[in-house]
C-alpha cells in the first residue's frame, strides 16, 4: 500500500494527477470559496429578471415583433380585466355597475343586457383602468373591485401582474421537493454505501444553487428556462457525480482515501468531460434557433452542465475525503439485480428485432412528421389547472370570446383609415372594427369627422362667434395660415382634435364656459383622450379588428396575410404592421419550420463528431444515433396517435436533450460491448454488457424520466408541462430501445463496425498472436489485452494476449522465481504498481519511442 501511495504522488506524475492532487490538498480553500459562492447565490438568484412573454423571443424581423416594437413606443395600452359574477340577477348586476364605476382608477366598464355581458345568470364586467397595463396602480384598483364583489361568486380574467410567474414558481418549488425525494430513493436503491448519498446530494445542491445565482449575469431569462433548468440540471448531470464516486470506490479498494480520491479524480476528469460533450452538443443545436427562446434555454442549460462539472471536479473531491470514513462504515448490499435474462433474450432475438425496429422506424417517422403542433395556448390543456385558468375557463364557457388583432398604419389620413376599416368589415372573417375613423362620438358624428365652426358650436353648445375664435386660434397654432386669411367659416377640423383643443384652452383659462358646458366637455375629454392614447401615436394610428375566426388555425393565419395585403394597398410605400395572438402563433409556426430542420441536423452532426472520436469508427456512431433518433421519432408519434396537441417548443427542446443526453446510455452499452467481444463469446459479451450498464442507465434514466413526468403532471403552465411530458416519455423509450433493441443491432452489426473502424489501417494486417502468461509486447499492434500492463509504447503483460502484430514483436516470457511476489510483502492480488523485476527492466529497455 505504501508503494502505491508513493506512485500517486511521485515526481513523474501526469498533469491530471498534479491537478487532482492540488484540488484534494487545497480542499479547505475550495470549501471556503464554495460556501461564499453558495451564500452569494442564495441572494443573487432573487435578482434574476424573468421574461414571461414568449413574443419577446421572436426574431426581430418577424411581423409581430416589428408591430409590438412600434406599439410599445407609440401607444398607451390601458390595463383591463374581465370580471364575471356568477349566480346573479341582471337587476342586481346593473345596480352594482354604478358603484363599480366610482372605484378609484376605474376608467370605464362595459356592461349591458346582451349575451356578451349577461348570460346563464352570470354578469361579465369588462373593466378598463386609468393606468398603463404595466402600472401597479391597475392591480390596486382591481383589488378594490374584488373587495367590493367579495360577497359574490366571482371569476377574474386579466393579464395584469405576475400571477403566472408566481404560480409557476410555487409549482416548480413543489416539483423540486418531489424530485429530491426521487433522487434520494433512487440513490438508496442503486448505491453501494449509504455514506455516498450525502456526498452526491451536496454535490448536486452546490451546482444547482450556484447556477441559479449566476443567472442574473445573463440579464434576463425566460420563464421556461427559469422553471425547468434546475430540475433538468439535476437529471442531466447526475451521471457525472456517480461516475466519479464509483471510480473512487474502485480505487479505494487498494488505496487510502486521499490517494484514491486523487487517482479517481485524475481518471474521471477526462472520462466525465468526454461524457458531457454529447449532452452539451445536443444543447448547442438550440443556439442556432431563430426563435430566441431556444438560445436562452441552451445557454442556461449549458451553463448548468458547466457548474455541475465544476461541482463534481472541485467540491466533490473534498467531500469524498471528508465523508470517506462514513462511506467505509456504511456499505450495504447492492439492490440492483442482474439482468442476464435480458441479455439472453437480446441474443436470441438478434436476427428478428432489428428488422422489426426498421419497420417501426418507418411508421414512427411518418407519424412524427404529422405531429399536431400548437403555436399558442388556445388548443393546449394540462392535467392540472390553476385558479387563473379555472376562472378563464368559466368565463369562456359562459361568454363568447373574440379574436382581436391590432393593425398599425401611418398616421394622418382619417378618410383613408375609414375606407380601410369599411373594406375590412366587408369580409365575413371580420366581426367589427374599431379606429378613430369609425368610433361614434356625439349626435351621429364619428370621432374623426371634420366639422366646421358652426357644426362644432351646435354640437358643443358654444356661441358661434366663440367657436370661430377658437378655430382661428387652432389654425394659427397649427400654421394653417391660408384658413386665417380665407373664410374661417368653411375651415374643417376633426372632431376629436378640436374637442381636445377646446378642453385644453378651458383648463388654461383662455376659454371660459358655463359650468354645464365645462362638465360636458370634461366627460367627453376622458373618453376621447383614452381613445386617442390607445389608437393614435406620434407617427402611427392603430385600428382594432375583431375576427370571427379562432385564434389558431391555418385559415386564420392565411387571413392575416390578407389583412396585410389590403392595408398595404392603401399604404403602398409605407410600413404597416399587424399584431395579435394569431400573428404571434403564425410567426412561431414560420420560425419553427426553419428551427426544426436546423436543430435536428446540428444536434446529429455534433453528436456524430463526438462519437467518431470516441469510437474511432464510422459504423458505431451511425448505429447509436439511429437508435436514439428512432426514440425521438417514436416519442413524437404519440401526439399524432392520441390527437393531443404539442406546443412546438417542446419538440425542439426535448429532441435536443434526447439526442444529447439519452445517447449516453447507448454509448455505455456500445463501448462496453466493444471491449468485451474480443475476449468472450458474443452472447457472454452482451449479457455482461447489460449487467454492467444497467445500474448506470437505471439510475440516470429513472431520475430523468420521473422528473419529466413530474413536470408534466404537476405544473399548470402548458409549455412547461408539454416539455416535461415529452421528456419523461422520450427517456423511457430511449431506455427501452438501448436495452431491448440496441444490443441486437450491435450483435448483427459487429462486422460493419469493425470494417468502418479507422483507428488502425486494417484489422487483418500483421501476424496474429494468441498468448497467455507473461508476454512482452513491443511494436504497433491491434487487438485485445487482458491483464496488467506496464510500459508506455511497449508493455509487459501478465494475462491473455490476442492481437495482430503489425510491426514489432509479442513474445512469451518464462516465469522467474519470485516474480509473482509483490514488493513490500503486499497482497498477491494487488496489481496496482508492483516493482519491475530486473528481467522485465532489461526487456523494457528494448522499447523505442
Quick: pLDDT tens for 576-598. 999 998 999 999 998 888 888 88
Residue 387 has pLDDT above 90, yes or no: no
* Cβ atoms 224, 720 nearer than 8 A: yes
Q: Are 484 and 476 within 8 A, CB to CB?
A: yes
Q: How far apart are CA 675 and CA 563, in angstroms?
A: 64
Residue 223: per-residue pLDDT: 87
Q: What is the pLDDT of residue 4?
A: 43
Tens of pLDDT, residue by residue over 97-109, are 989 999 999 988 9
CA dist., res. 13 & res. 572, Å (int)? 75
pLDDT at 23 over 90: yes
Task: Report whether pLDDT(737) > 90.
Answer: yes
User: Quick one: pLDDT at residue 155?
Assistant: 93
Q: How far apart are CA 43 and CA 46, in angstroms?
A: 6
Q: Which of 116-125, 687-696, 788-797 has the lowest mean pLDDT?
A: 788-797
Using 50, 70 and 90 to split pLDDT, how confident is the model at 844?
very low
More confident site: 270 or 544: 544
239 or 630, greater pLDDT:
630
Calculate mean pLDDT across residues 280-292: 87
* Per-residue confidence (pLDDT) for residue 845, from 0 to 100: 43
Lowest mean pLDDT among 264-273, 478-487, 527-536: 478-487
* pLDDT > 50? residue 281: yes
- What pLDDT is stored for residue 510 in this prediction? 67
The predicted structure's pLDDT at residue 733: 95
What is the chain's alpha carbon radius of gyration, rounded to the nearest angstrom? 37
For residue 115, list its beta bridge partners.
none
3-state secondary structure of 723: helix
Quick one: CA torsion of 72, 77, 79, 85, rounded to 10 degrees? -130
- pLDDT computed for residue 5 by the predictor: 44
Q: Residue 335: is its pLDDT beyond 90?
A: no
Q: Which residue has the cell 498468448?
A: 771
813-837 mean pLDDT: 43
Q: What is the mean pLDDT of the segment spanning 388-395?
A: 88
- pLDDT of 172 > 60? The answer is yes
Q: Is the pLDDT of residue 849 over 50?
A: no
Contact 202, 35 (CB under 8 A): no
DSSP letter string over 148-203?
HTTTSEEEEE---TTHHHHHHHHHHHHHHHHHHHHHHHHHHHH-SBTTHHHHHHHH
| Diameter over CA atoms, the chain | 131
Do the strands 118-119 and 767-790 form a parallel or antiparallel pair, or are they unpaired? Answer: unpaired
> Does the pLDDT of residue 567 top 90, yes or no?
yes
Residue 38 pLDDT more than 80? yes
Whole-number average pLDDT of the chain = 83
Query: Left if phi > 0, otherwise alpha if psi is -120 to 50, otherwise beta: which for 152?
Result: beta
Cell of 545: 379588428
Q: How far is Cα 483 from Cα 475, in angstroms, rounded to an integer?
A: 7
Length of the chain: 849
pLDDT at 735: 93
Tell me how far apart the alpha carbons of residues 690 and 340 are, in angstroms, rounded to a whole number.
7
The confidence score (pLDDT) of residue 6 equals 41
Res 347 pLDDT > 90: yes
What pLDDT does 783 receive? 58
| pLDDT, mean of residues 51-75 | 87
Q: What is the pLDDT of residue 183?
A: 86
For the purposes of burial, counting CB atoms within 10 Å of the CB of 778, is it exposed (0-12), middle (13-18) or buried (19 or more)? Answer: buried
Dist. CA 567–CA 285, nearest whole Å: 38
Instruction: Please indicate whether residue 478 or residue 304 has the higher confidence score (pLDDT).
Output: 304
pLDDT surpasses 80 at 262? yes
pLDDT of res. 808? 55
pLDDT exceeds cutoff 60 at 430: yes
How large is the average pLDDT for residues 621-644?
93
Cβ atoms < 10 Å from Cβ of 140: 13
Look-up of cell digits 441536423: 601
In the prediction, which pLDDT does 260 show?
92
Question: What does DSSP assign to residue 768?
Answer: E
Q: Does residue 317 surpass a pLDDT of 90?
A: yes
Contact yes or no for 420/409 (Cβ under 8 A): yes
Of all residues in the chain, the percent with pLDDT exceeding 90 is 34
Q: Residue 122: what pLDDT?
A: 93
Compute, in degrees rounded to 10, the torsion defined by CA atoms 366, 626, 610, 732.
Answer: 80
For the four alpha carbons of 466, 468, 473 and 478, in that order, the dihedral sign comes to: positive
- pLDDT in the model for residue 827: 39
CA atoms within 13 A on the CB side of 72: 9
**Of all residues in the chain, what percent carry a pLDDT higher than 70?**
86
Q: How confident is the model at residue 485 (pLDDT cuts 50, 70, 90)?
A: low
**Mean pLDDT (whole number) for 660-674:** 84
Separation CA 518–CA 474 (nearest Å)? 19
pLDDT band at 657 (very low <50, low <70, confident <90, very high): confident
Strand partners, 181: none
Distance CA 104, CA 101 (A): 8
- Pairing mode, strands 118-119 and 106-110: unpaired
Q: What is the pLDDT of residue 320?
A: 94
Amino acid at each position: 500500500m505504501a508503494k502505491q501511495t508513493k506512485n500517486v504522488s511521485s515526481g513523474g506524475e501526469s498533469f491530471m494527477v498534479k491537478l487532482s492532487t492540488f484540488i484534494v490538498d487545497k480542499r479547505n480553500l475550495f470549501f471556503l470559496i464554495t460556501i461564499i459562492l453558495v451564500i452569494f447565490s442564495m441572494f443573487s438568484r432573487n435578482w434574476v429578471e424573468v421574461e414571461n412573454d414568449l413574443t419577446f423571443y421572436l426574431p426581430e424581423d418577424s411581423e409581430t415583433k416589428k408591430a409590438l416594437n412600434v406599439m410599445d413606443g407609440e401607444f398607451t395600452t390601458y390595463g383591463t380585466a374581465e370580471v364575471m359574477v356568477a349566480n346573479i340577477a341582471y337587476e342586481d348586476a346593473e345596480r352594482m355597475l354604478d358603484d363599480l364605476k366610482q372605484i378609484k382608477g376605474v376608467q370605464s366598464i362595459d356592461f349591458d343586457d346582451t349575451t356578451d355581458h349577461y348570460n346563464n345568470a352570470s354578469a361579465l364586467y369588462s373593466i378598463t383602468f386609468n393606468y398603463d397595463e404595466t402600472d401597479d396602480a391597475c392591480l390596486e384598483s382591481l383589488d378594490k373591485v374584488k373587495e367590493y364583489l367579495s360577497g359574490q361568486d366571482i371569476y377574474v380574467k386579466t393579464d395584469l401582474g405576475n400571477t403566472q410567474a408566481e404560480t409557476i414558481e410555487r409549482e416548480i418549488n413543489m416539483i423540486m421537493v418531489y424530485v429530491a425525494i426521487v433522487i434520494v430513493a433512487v440513490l438508496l436503491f442503486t448505491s453501494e454505501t449509504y455514506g455516498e448519498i450525502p456526498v452526491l446530494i451536496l454535490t448536486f445542491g452546490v451546482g444547482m444553487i450556484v447556477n441559479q445565482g449566476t443567472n442574473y449575469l445573463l440579464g434576463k431569462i425566460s420563464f421556461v428556462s427559469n422553471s425547468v433548468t434546475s430540475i433538468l440540471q439535476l437529471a442531466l448531470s447526475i451521471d457525472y457525480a456517480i461516475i466519479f464516486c464509483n471510480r473512487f470506490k474502485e480505487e479505494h479498494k487498494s488505496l487510502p482515501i486521499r490517494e484514491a480520491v486523487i487517482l479517481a479524480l485524475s481518471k474521471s476528469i477526462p472520462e466525465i468531460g468526454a461524457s458531457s460533450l454529447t449532452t452539451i452538443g445536443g444543447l448547442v443545436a438550440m443556439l442556432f434557433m431563430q426563435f430566441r427562446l431556444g438560445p436562452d434555454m441552451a445557454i442556461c442549460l449549458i451553463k448548468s452542465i458547466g457548474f455541475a462539472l465544476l461541482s463534481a471536479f472541485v467540491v466533490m473531491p473534498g467531500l469524498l475525503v471528508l465523508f470517506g470514513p462514513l462511506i467505509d462504515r456504511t456499505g450495504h448490499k447492492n439492490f440492483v439485480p442482474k439482468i442476464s435474462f435480458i441479455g439472453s433474450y437480446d441474443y436470441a432475438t438478434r436476427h428478428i428485432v432489428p428488422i422489426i425496429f426498421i419497420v417501426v422506424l418507418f411508421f414512427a417517422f411518418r407519424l412524427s412528421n404529422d405531429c399536431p403542433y400548437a403555436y399558442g395556448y388556445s388548443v393546449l390543456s394540462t392535467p392540472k389547472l390553476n385558479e387563473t385558468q379555472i376562472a378563464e375557463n368559466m368565463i369562456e364557457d359562459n361568454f363568447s370570446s373574440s379574436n382581436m388583432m391590432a393593425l398599425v398604419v401611418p398616421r394622418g389620413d382619417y378618410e383613408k383609415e375609414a375606407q380601410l376599416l369599411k373594406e375590412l368589415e366587408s369580409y365575413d372573417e371580420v366581426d367589427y372594427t374599431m379606429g378613430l375613423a369609425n368610433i361614434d362620438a356625439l349626435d351621429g358624428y364619428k370621432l374623426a369627422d371634420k366639422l366646421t365652426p358652426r357644426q362644432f358650436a351646435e354640437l358643443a353648445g358654444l356661441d358661434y362667434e366663440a367657436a370661430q375664435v377658437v378655430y382661428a386660434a387652432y389654425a394659427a397654432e397649427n400654421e394653417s395660415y391660408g384658413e386665417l386669411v380665407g373664410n374661417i367659416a368653411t375651415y374643417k377640423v376633426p372632431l376629436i382634435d378640436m374637442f381636445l383643443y377646446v378642453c385644453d384652452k378651458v383648463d388654461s383659462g383662455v376659454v371660459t364656459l358655463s359650468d354645464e358646458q365645462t362638465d360636458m366637455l370634461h366627460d367627453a375629454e376622458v373618453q376621447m383622450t383614452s381613445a386617442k392614447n390607445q389608437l393614435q401615436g406620434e407617427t402611427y394610428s392603430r385600428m382594432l379588428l375583431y375576427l370571427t375566426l379562432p385564434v389558431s388555425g391555418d385559415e386564420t393565419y392565411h387571413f392575416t396575410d390578407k389583412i396585410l395585403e389590403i392595408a398595404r394597398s392603401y399604404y403602398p410605400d409605407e410600413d404597416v404592421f399587424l399584431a395579435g395572438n394569431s400573428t404571434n402563433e403564425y410567426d412561431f409556426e414560420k420560425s419553427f419550420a426553419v428551427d426544426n430542420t436546423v436543430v435536428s441536423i446540428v444536434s446529429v452532426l455534433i453528436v456524430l463528431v463526438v462519437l467518431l472520436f470516441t469510437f474511432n469508427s464510422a459504423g458505431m456512431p451511425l448505429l447509436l444515433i439511429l437508435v436514439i433518433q428512432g426514440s425521438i421519432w417514436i416519442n413524437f408519434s404519440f401526439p399524432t396517435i392520441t390527437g393531443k396537441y404539442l406546443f412546438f417548443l417542446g419538440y425542439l427542446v426535448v429532441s435536443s436533450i434526447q439526442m444529447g443526453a439519452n445517447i449516453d446510455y447507448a454509448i455505455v452499452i456500445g463501448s462496453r460491448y466493444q471491449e468485451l467481444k474480443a475476449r468472450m463469446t458474443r452472447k457472454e459479451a452482451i449479457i455482461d454488457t447489460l449487467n454492467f450498464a444497467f445500474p448506470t442507465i437505471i439510475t440516470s434514466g429513472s431520475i430523468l424520466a420521473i422528473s419529466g413526468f413530474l413536470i408534466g403532471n404537476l405544473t399548470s403552465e402548458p409549455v412547461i408541462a408539454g416539455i416535461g411530458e415529452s421528456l419523461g416519455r422520450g427517456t423511457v423509450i430511449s431506455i427501452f430501445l438501448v436495452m431491448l433493441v440496441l444490443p441486437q443491432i450491435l450483435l448483427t452489426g459487429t462486422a460493419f463496425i469493425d470494417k468502418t473502424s479507422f483507428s488502425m489501417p486494417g484489422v487483418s494486417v500483421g501476424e496474429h498472436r494468441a498468448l497467455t502468461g507473461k508476454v512482452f509486447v513491443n511494436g504497433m499492434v491491434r487487438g485485445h489485452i487482458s491483464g496488467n500492463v506496464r510500459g508506455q509504447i511497449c508493455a509487459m503483460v501478465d494475462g491473455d494476449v490476442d492481437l495482430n502484430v503489425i510491426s514489432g514483436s509479442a513474445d512469451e516470457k518464462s516465469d522467474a522465481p519470485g516474480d509473482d511476489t509483490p514488493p513490500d510483502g503486499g497482497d498477491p492480488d494487488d496489481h496496482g504498481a508492483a516493482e519491475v523485476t530486473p528481467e522485465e527492466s532489461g526487456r523494457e529497455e528494448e522499447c523505442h519511442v
